[in-house]
Structures are given as C-alpha cells and as structure tokens.
Amino acid sequence: MSLTVAMAPVKRGRGRPPLPIILHPEPLWPDTVDPADFAEALSAQMKRHGDTAHRLHRAVKSQGGLSDQKTLSYWRRGLKTPRTLASLKVVDLIEARYRLEPGRLRGKLPRDRATSGHTPPGLNHAETRRLAWHLPHDFRRRSKAEQAEILDWVRTRILSSGTDYSRYQSEVSRHRFGFRFDKSIVPSRHGSSIGPAHLQAPEALQDEMRALVRFKSATLTDLGFSRSGVWGRETAAQRGEHLALMFGALAADPQGEVAGLGVPPESLSFALLVVPDHRADAGSRVRSPH
C-alpha cells in the first residue's frame, strides 16, 4: 500500500525583492553646500547621495538605529528635530553613512533645551535647561564618578552666581536688543528672550518676515518656486527669534552696551542678507560679515 503526500504550493511574494542595503552610497556631486539649518542640511545630503527616507531608514535600522521611517521624514521637513539619545545615535549613523566629519549634522541641532534622557534624574526644569549647554554629548556613557565630577564643575564654574561667566551673563541680559515680530507672524517659544515691546520690528520688516514664514511653512510652494525643507511651528519660532536678534544687533547703538551697527530701523531689509555691503543710507555702510 502506497501513500501519497500532498505538498502545499509554495507562495511567492508579490513585487520585486528589496534592493540590497548600501551602507555608504557614492555622492552624486561634490560636497559644496552646507546649510546651517539641520533639516536643510539633512535634506541636501540625502539628495546628494540619492537617498529617500525609505532607503535611509533601512540602512540606519540595519545598524541598530531608529524604527520609525516617518521620523526621518519629519526631520528632513523641519517638523521635528532629534531630542533623545536614541535620535542622536541615528544622526551619528547618518553622518557615518555619508562619510561626513563627526558632528557635521549634530552641530546644527538647536541647543535650547536638554536632550531627553541626557541629564541625570532629580533635577528641576530650570537647571536641566541650563546644564544642556555645558554637558558633553557622551555624558550618559561616562562613569558615575566622571558624571559627578562634570556636574560639580559646571555648577561651581558656570552656574554659580559668583563666577565671571555668570556675572557676564547677568550683565548682558539687562541690555536686550532683539526686535519683536508679531505673534501672528512668528509663533513664540517657551523661554524666549526677545526684547521688550518698544523694540517692535518695523512694519516693512514685519511684512518681509510674514512672507518668509508663509513660504517656508506652506505645504506647497508657489508655482515656479522651490525650497529646501519645510518649517514646522518650532522651527519658524526659532528662526524668527534668531533673525529678530540679528536685525536688533544691526540697529543697536554703536556707542551703547550692545555695540551694534546703528542701522536706521527703516533701512533694515532681508536684502541685506543677499547684498550685505549695500545700504540706502549713503552716510553709513553695513559691513560684510566676511
């Protein structure tokens, strides 16, 4: 008596098999552009290496980092920024993937708040924010003795009210010089240090800032225009604060505590970022940053 065994048909997956993971893709053009903004720099490097968020996610995940592909898309569009230690590990992996010098992308991240999980537990919010500027990026990987030594040094040499640094910080904080854009144009950030109401930005500068935020924050650009990265609420607030400080420094009295350039507020324009040596006021010139 013979037995016949029925074999179930082997199902084959549909579609093409996944492409092999290339850990170090070759660049498509020379590395000549290095935006100061993290989102724009990440987007530029992804384009330079022909990477999509999906391809980059697979490569990073194969090295033990990140499990959510959407996170990379949010970073690239400026909707979120790396905040946790795990996220910073991913930034390091991306730098290694594109053969960038260590810290090239990480150094573009805002340092306005402490990295989640970076500082030891038991600290209040204010101390955590202040420590964020002074702890090394590998603080959590150091021994308990090294961590205690670093914290003691920062508290006594930096945060103590009797140090030269703290006295300097206290002095300059009395001379605020940044302009203030309307909240309907630039959203405010927690802990913002933009100056008081009498430093309201000129109306023409407000209009230019409104146009910039609209362009950088819109889901789609106007026909015929292109951009690198999209600003989320926090990015728009941060950029607005930085620009307000820069224009405030340009308008500050050269003989005052801030030692600005004394540019008349009505002469300020975003065009100065393109042609920094040109001013409508022929009696004074804005010097080029270089």
Give the pLDDT means over successive 10-residue stretches in the chain (290 positions). Answer: 46 70 94 90 95 94 86 90 86 95 88 58 65 72 87 79 66 74 80 54 94 90 83 83 88 84 92 68 42
CB 229 within 8 A of CB 37: yes
* Tally of residues, the chain: 290
58's CB contacts (< 8 A; 6+ apart) are 18, 21
- Nearest Cα to 111, choosing from 88, 83, 87? 83
Q: How far apart are CA 209 and CA 31, in angstroms?
A: 30
Number of domains in the chain: 3
Q: Does residue 74 sit in the same domain as residue 144?
A: no
6's CB contacts (< 8 A; 6+ apart) are none
Q: Does residue 241 sit in the same domain as residue 135?
A: no
0.95 exceeded by the pTM? no
Whether 14 is covered by a domain: the verdict is no
What pLDDT score was predicted for residue 13? 57
Phi, psi of 200 (to 5 degrees): -55, 135
Q: Does residue 246 sit in the same domain as residue 208?
A: yes
Q: Does residue 213 sit in the same domain as residue 246?
A: yes
Q: Does residue 283 sit in the same domain as residue 204?
A: yes
Distances (CA, A) of 159 to 90, 162, 168, 259: 31, 9, 12, 26
Q: Does residue 100 sit in the same domain as residue 159?
A: no
Q: Does residue 205 sit in the same domain as residue 282?
A: yes
Domain containing 77 equals 38-108
Whether 132 is covered by a domain: the verdict is yes
Q: Does residue 167 sit in the same domain as residue 247?
A: no
